Amino acid sequence: MTDLSGQYSFYALTDFACLPTAAVRSEADHQALLELCSCNLAELCDKHPGILLYPDSIGRAADKLGEERLLSFEPGKGFCCADVVGFISWKQLRLHIRSRFAPADADDFFLHYLLQRIMGLNLFKLPAGSSKAPLLDFRLYLFPLFLQQALRQGLYKRYERHACNDCRMRGVLDVARQLKLNQPFAGRIATQVREYSFDNEMTELIRHTVEFIAARGREQLLQADADIQDAVRQIREATPAYNVKNRQKVMAANLRGLTNPYFAAYLPLQVLCLQILRQEALSYANAADPAAGLLLRASYLWEEFLDRALLHKAGFTHPQNRSHRQPLSLFADGSYARFPDFWQEGCVLDAKYKRLQPANISREDLYQLIAYMHILKAGHGGLIFPYREDGNRVCFERELNGWGGLIKLFALPVVQQGQSFADYCQRMEHNVSELGEQIKAFCAK
């Protein structure tokens, strides 16, 4: 789907789908798309700080997902998307990649639902105009996550210069100010002090973003759990000089990207805050950066959604391959660490966002699951994937030869559209509950 307006070319795509070459409206667009195909995700974000990728550590992940590309060109098919959704401005192109479960010209309820469950929110009403400004809305969802990640490195501090005029002798004597302010001498000393301060340009930018979100009626995003509330409290306590009238001044002071390597996690947060405060939505024509946007790894969202909405409370362990936590070793000497998505005693589950059917399960996915079952001595293994609720229900359960074991496909029916977002969430919760019962019954066999 394409619409040309002025100098910009708009293309709407879905994940795991292709834009036919015939649908590309000009040779310039074709060349720009080919250039986009030449960069992997890690290179794209490193070269263009205005492009945010969630999870932003994807380029350093153990599974090397950063080596994959946003688009790939396949002769006969065109420009094909993988499992990345979101929005990107690239030269004259404006790409909107939606989930394949979103109806055309309607809110992407499924993506909203995933993000809210990951955040632990229960917002059964989308903000007014969300379909017109979905990019801004998704950025608001991600702000608490980026903030928590940054604060794990400590509250940002930097040297600040302060002009003092009191009875304490500290820093460097400011002779000119001393002669101007303290003649005749009355016990005060004019000095210049350089000291660490938590109230600086970066924390002020974060504070302005916090208050911006609160002013838009999205206070729930800042109160989702105790950790987020504590993060917001730290920022507010660290910025006593906050003044809403200084917002443009603070934004201008943060236009230069962060260079301190110790606080590297603050760089994506800085970019996100600036984009939120500029209220950059789907109107890419107003974006100053020719390469900017927000990209979400749908497979990661799907995996985290399953953990938080279903499998964590069912007792499954969720190893973190991106942070190298809770690995399993293929060999008895502890070598070759591997990270199954979910496991408990006797059962291993693997999350797959891509389209699955019994006839087209890739051998890599199947061999991986069988290997995990062997290492863990598990008699049950399964692949969990989403499918359209109006599609054919997938039924697949087979017993392995040799040492035995059962393998099953678990499909979560994704509601296509509800009368409202609240109705959509209610129906999705019902489907999630049914899936949980299926998994419980399968692992108990």
Of 161 and 426, the one with more pLDDT: 426
Burial class (CB in 10 A: 0-12, 13-18, 19+), 12: middle
pLDDT at residue 3, as a whole number: 42
Neighbours of 142 (CB within 10 A): 23
- Mean pLDDT (whole number) for 73-78: 90
Please give the structure tokens belonging to residue 91.
Answer: 């030269």
Residue 317: closest CA among 278, 291, 292, 348 = 348
Other C-beta atoms lying within 10 Å of the C-beta of residue 280: 24
Q: What is the mean pLDDT of residues 191-212?
A: 88
CA distances from 150 to 137, 206, 253, 268 (A): 21, 11, 19, 9
Return the residue matching tokens 């199954």: 340
Task: Report residue 377 CA to chain centroid gap.
Answer: 34
Q: How far apart are CA 406 and CA 44, in angstroms?
A: 41
Element (H, E) at 131: none
Helix (H) or strand (E) holding 390: none
Taking CA atoms, 226 is separated from 54, 222, 232, 301, in Å, by: 22, 10, 10, 22
What is the length of the chain? 445
Residue 175 banded pLDDT, cuts 50, 70, 90 = confident
pLDDT at residue 275 tops 80: yes
Per-residue confidence band for 348, with pLDDT thresholds at 50, 70 and 90: very high
pLDDT at 284 over 70: no
Residue 443 has pLDDT above 50, yes or no: yes
Q: Compute φ and ψ for 400, nearest 5 degrees.
A: -80, 150
Name which residue leads in pLDDT, 162 or 125.
Answer: 162
Instruction: Read off the pLDDT band of 59 (50, 70, 90).
Output: very low
Amino acid 6: pLDDT: 52
For 19, residues 6+ apart whose C-beta sits below 8 A from its C-beta are 11, 13, 33, 78, 79, 80, 81
81, 71 in Cβ contact below 8 A?
Answer: yes
pLDDT of residue 381: 94
Both tokens of residue 328?
């399993």
Amino acid at 318: H
Q: Name the more confident of 405 and 165.
A: 405
DSSP 9: E
What is the DSSP pairing of strand 291-297 with strand 51-54?
parallel
Of 126-130, 203-207, 329-333, the one with minimum mean pLDDT is 126-130
The pLDDT, as a whole number, for residue 306 is: 95
**Average confidence score pLDDT of the chain:** 83
Mean pLDDT, residues 324-348 = 84
Q: Is the pTM of this model over 0.85?
A: no
